[in-house]
Structure 1
Amino acid sequence: MDIKKDLIEYSREINVDEIGFCLAKPFYELEDILFNRDCSKYMCNLESKDYNKKIYPKLTLENAKSFIVILETYNNNPKKQNDNTLRGNISMAAVTRDYHKIVSAKLRLLEEHLHSLVSCNTKIFVDTSPFSDRAVARRAGLGFIGKNSMLITEKYGSRVFIGYILTDYYIKPDENEISIGCGSCNNCVKSCPSGAIIGNNEIDCNICVSYLTQHKGHIDDELKKKMGQQIYGCDVCQKVCPYNNVINKDIPNVIDPYPEYDSMLNMSNKEFKKTYGISSSGWRGKKILQRNAIIALGNSKSKEALTILANNIDDVRIDIRKEIVDSIVRLSFNEGIDILEKMKTKENDKDLQILIDDAIKKLSEK
């Protein structure tokens, strides 16, 4: 029985877009990369620093022999509505039903099918493994790592989700040679809004806009400006990539890629769970997305944004009120002084009162 051939045929039956196989040998090629990233302080707090587990698959599954890797594609750029409503921006990877569940479901079917053929141990991973997902997919011959550090495939570009099964059953690896690459193209390096893309397949995650929209801690003022209208994620480096000039399959969106700020800031917990809660953008919670919406309003250069911010000065969350003050200052409209004066009369927190006084002074001096 040809197990590999059987798995490939079954993957087509369950609508897997791409499948590849590789050995679960150590990722020695990552040692220098991980060391340099750490020394350069490019790693963010969403990344695991357990280097041994990143490099040695057998630390995750005893006698690990093979990876079965699948790719799931997602939509390209949607059209923005032609209205005058002030809107934010959500990454295309995060507007469909949560990809973790979609890819995991297909991997479970593959896992069950493998178990029906042979006796083996397996572990499934979708964005949860100690390994570099892109390094695993590259080894399986599914693409190359671009200058923006994304996995780029010839057929689908970089708009793919990665998932895989680690097993102690040996499956003959694919021997695909990836003959494509970035070449002299530097579109992503030049277009990155925060300058996070270094250009040598490396990225400073701490200033990447996608990371900033997920970061729960303090964000410097200069970095807030770089976030533009992004509420969750960032697609800039993918939009300018020539490999993404392809039409991927059309997947229904569960949330609007260009949401109205006003409705975002006023949605209930129930509304959030019904919409953002079933997409991958909801994992950080409502407050982080609303914080990002307020930051984006401060970057909008629109007087309409002042009205939206003014309507939310009574928010019970002090972190949100602080963000509103900061965005009013960043908009730099004189009308913001009246909003801040009104806000001050209602504010009970002494530290925030001081912040409001400083904000009024800054606007008065402009």
Structure 2
Amino acid sequence: MQVPNLEDIELIAKNAGLDDLSVTGVEPLIEARLAIEDRKRRGLHAGMHFTYGNPERATDPSQLFDGARSILVALRSYKAPSFESFDLWNAKTEVSDGGPKGLVASYVSSDEYGMLREGLMKLASYLESFGARAEVVMDDNRLADRAIAAKAGLGWLGRNTMLLHPELGSWTVIGSVITDMPLEEDSKKLPDGCGTCRRCSVDCPTSAIDEFGVLDANRCLAWLLQAKGIFPRQYRAALGNRLYGCDDCQVLCPVNDTAIEGSRAAVPREDKVDIVALLDASDEDLMDQYGHWYIPRRRPEYLRRNALVVLGNSRIGDSPEVERVLANCLASPHALVRSHAVWAVLRLGKRHLIGPDEIRTLTENDDEGLVRAELEEWGILADPVSP
């Protein structure tokens, strides 16, 4: 089998919109496996699956297919938010342009993963033209992507658990091409560049980063927005106006202060979402608009759950539109939505929307007791009449 030189591969990657590339082998990622198993044993994974589902497989690239010999690991950079945007992330939700807005994490405000996959497919096709087998692996629980990128010398794993590239910072999405082609490795592990810096740890809104490189997903807002079940009450106020994702530990990172932008722009999407419009939308419209997000069980009521927390954190005053949408959510067939609507209503001081008749209907079909628990938390069941 003829093997192309690395310079030609790098040119293909650059022309395909990839911002850095390195080659490494398929040896097991022992350190990563031990770290994943440690987090899982301590319950820090908060029930998430991904690479936690099968740590042994996720940290052994040779299992991706028989005969795998090399991995091309690539990064695609996406535009970092400005510091003005960071002010929005940390502030309580303000009302502007007609109603509350929810903020969306930078990596989903444009089609970065779509562009990454397109670039990786071009790389794979190039290797296949030499008779090699090549498979694209990205956003896939079969491979610990940050660990393999660090092994390939594309950055170090920072205190905030992100891959930190010396020039691109942490504003990257990661993907790989696994091949049976015997490519020469050009990777060299980078030293830790965080030093004594603790900015991400100190200013995390929920103190989810304590030990170096260890994230407690039970407290991470980005994960809680994707997790099943209720949004934990103790972190609802801290959520502010984050609708999907949280960029704080990246914006705070000094490495990102000088991060350069990527070589190509992706297809832009909204970075702010109208909360009232979201809550008004049908299930079909929600999935059409936001189906590229990770939504638990592909159930749109989780989008409404998150939106109701954002709405409850808003400083909205008297607003017939907001009261209308809250009343609709109180009548939702989904107890998950009704329970968070109760929280939003009471946090906004709109107790008049929940009278004795509403309490009766709210607690119907509440098999898991979600609505009843929320009403009890606010003392409504003990005093169902007071406005």
SS at match of 1:137: helix
Q: 1:157 aligns with which of 151, 155, 169?
A: 169
- The CA RMSD over aligned residues, in Å, is 2.9
| Deviation readout 1:22-48 (Å, 9 max, x if unpaired) | 111111222431232122111232333
Using the alignment, how far apart are the partners of 1:212 and 1:115 within structure 2?
Answer: 40
CA contact (8 A) 1:94 1:281 kept: no
> Residue 214 of structure 2 aligns to a residue in which SS?
coil
Partner residue in 1 for 2:92: none
Is the 1:186–1:199 contact (alpha carbons within 8 Å) kept by the matching residues of 2? Answer: no
Partner of 1:349: 364
Whether contact under 8 Å (2:330, 2:338) holds in the other structure is yes
Report if the CA contact (8 A) 2:204-2:249 is conserved: yes
Deviation at 1:120, TM superposition (A): 2.6
Residue 316 (str. 1) matches residue 333 (str. 2): yes
2:158/2:192 contact within 8 Å kept: no
Instruction: Determine if the alignment matches structure 1 residue 4 to structure 2 residue 6.
Output: yes
Matches within 5 A, 1:128-143: 128-143=140-155
Deviations 1:36-86 (A, max 9, x none): 212211123233331221232222222322110111111221657964632
Find the residue that maps to 1:88 and give its secondary structure.
strand
Aligned match of 1:225: 237
Distance 1:253 1:316, change over 3 A: farther
Identical columns (%) = 24
After superposition, give the CA deviation of every residue in 1:216-271 in whole Å (9 maximum; x if it has no partner): 22333113333222111111111111122235247466442121211111123453
5 Å-filtered alignment, 1:49-198, equals 49-77=53-81, 83=97, 85-97=99-111, 99-117=112-130, 119-179=131-191, 181-198=193-210
**Helix, strand or coil at the partner of 2:43:** coil
Paired residue secondary structure (2:329): coil
Equivalent position SS for 1:53 = helix
Q: 1:207: which partner in 2?
A: 219
Aligned partner (choices 23, 26, 31) of residue 25 of structure 2? 23
Q: Distance in 2 between matches of 1:134 and 1:275?
A: 29
Q: Which runs of 5+ in 2 are unaligned?
A: 89-94
List runs of 5+ in structure 1 lacking aligned partners: none
The 3-state SS of whatever aligns with 2:341 is helix
Distance, in Å, in 2 between the alignment partners of 1:197 and 1:91 is 18
How many residues align? The count is 360
Counterpart Cα distance in 1 of 2:317 and 2:381 = 20
Counterpart Cα distance in 1 of 2:267 and 2:10: 28
- Counterpart check, 1:234 vs 2:246: yes
Contact 2:230 2:336 in 1 (8 A): no
Match of 1:35 in 2: 37
**Aligned mates of 1:350, 1:109 — CA distance in 2:** 51
Q: Residue 328 in 1 paired to residue 345 in 2? A: yes
Contact in 1 for aligned 2:29/2:59 (Cα 8 Å): yes
Q: d(CA) in 2 for partners of 1:27 and 1:356?
A: 44
Are 1:17 and 1:71, in contact at CA under 8 Å, matched by a contact in 2? yes
- For 2:373 and 2:293, the matched residues in 1 are separated by 34
Cα pair 1:66 1:169 within 8 Å, conserved:
yes
Counterpart check, 1:296 vs 2:310: yes
What letter matches 1:103 in structure 2?
A: L
- Of residues 3-12 and 201-210 in structure 1, the stretch that sits farther from structure 2 once superposed is 3-12
Is the alpha carbon distance of 1:354 and 1:211 closer, same or farther for their aligned partners in structure 2, counting shifts above 3 Å? closer
For residues 16 and 140 of structure 2, the distance between their equivalents in structure 1, rounded to whole angstroms, comes to 22
TM-score normalised to structure 1 length: 0.87
Q: Structure 2 CA distance, aligned partners of 1:55 and 1:156?
A: 25
The answer as to whether partners of 1:68 and 1:165 remain within 8 angstroms in 2 is: yes
Change (3 A) 1:101 1:110: same
Q: Deviations over 1:128-167 (max 9, x none)?
A: 1422100111111111111010011111110100000112
**Kept after mapping to 1: 8 A contact 2:101/2:275:** yes
Q: Distance in 1 between matches of 2:100 and 2:162?
A: 31
CA apart distance, 1:345: 6.1
Cα 1:354–1:146 change in 2 (3 A) is: closer
Write the distance in 2 (CA, Å) between the matches of 1:285 and 1:304.
31
Give yes or no for contact 1:329–1:362 (8 Å, CA) kept in 2.
no
Residue of structure 2 aligned with 1:287, choices 298, 301, 317: 301
